[in-house]
Amino acid sequence: MRVVLIGATGMVGQGVLRACLEARDVTGIIVVGRRAPPGYVDPRLSVYVVSELSRFEATGAMFADIDACFFCVGVSSFGMPEPAYRAVTYDLTLHCAQQLLARSPGMKMVYVSGAGADSSEQGKTMWARVRGETENALQRLPFGGVAIFRPSAIVPEGGIQSRTAIYRWIYVVFRPLLVLLRRISPASILTTGLIGDAMLNVVRIGVTKPVLESADIYRLAVAHA
C-alpha cells in the first residue's frame, strides 16, 4: 500500500511512521510537512516539504493512487481563541483532505481526533465542538472510507516524545501509572505503536463504523497481528 502521512514529527505521527516502516506491505510512504522527520532512512520514504500546510497542493503523479492518508496533525487548545484553533484543526484538515481526494478519490482517510470530541457540534467546550465539526465534515467527503480515531491516554514508545512541553512533563510523571493501567486494561491505554498498527489495519481489513474510541482502536490494532 502507498500512504500519505501528515504530522509525522508529532508524538502520534512518529509512532505511525515507525509502524509504516516496519510493515512489509507498505510500499511507499509520503511524509508531508515543513521538515523531514529526523533519523529515518528508507527507500520507501519520500518527503514532500511545504512551508505551510495551508498551501499544500497534491499535484503530480506522487499523489495519484494513494491508498490512505494518516492525518496526525493536532495542537492543544489551551490559551487559543476559537478562530485560531479552528484554522489549525478544521480548515487545515479539510484543505489537505480535499487536495488528496482530488488526486486519489478511492483513498481512505484516517484522522486522529480525541476522546470527548463533540459530534453534535452544539456543546459548550470549544475544542470538542471544533473537533466534532471536523470529524463530521470528513465523513461527508466521498472517500473510499473514513476512520476517526478518538484515543484518550497514549503511552509513547521507543524514545518518542511529545513536542508540547507540558505533555512531556505529564508523561514523565504519570508514565508508571499509565504502564500499570495498560497491564490491567490494555484496551483503555494505547501506545503510539498500537495506533500506527490500527491505522494500517484500516486499509488492510476496513472498519465497521467510522468513529473509533480507544477500545475500538486497540481491537483493530491487534486484529492483524
Q: What is the pLDDT of residues 182-215, one digit of tens each?
A: 677 777 789 999 999 999 999 999 999 999 999 9
- Looking at the 3D structure of the chain, how many domains does it have? 1
Report the distance separating Cα 55 and Cα 27, nearest Å. Answer: 27
Q: What is the pLDDT of residues 117-147, one digit of tens each?
A: 999 999 999 999 999 999 999 999 999 999 9
Residue-number span of the structural domain to which 94 is assigned: 2-222
Indicate which CATH number applies to the domain containing 193. 3.40.50.720
Cell numbers representing residue 1 in the block: 500500500
Between 11-22 and 192-205, two packed helices, what is the crossing angle to 10 degrees? 60
Predicted local confidence at residue 99, as pLDDT:
97
Report the distance separating Cα 63 and Cα 161, nearest Å. Answer: 29
Predicted local confidence at residue 174, as pLDDT:
61
Q: What is the pLDDT of residues 62-121, one digit of tens each?
A: 999 999 999 999 888 888 999 999 999 999 999 999 999 999 999 999 999 999 999 999
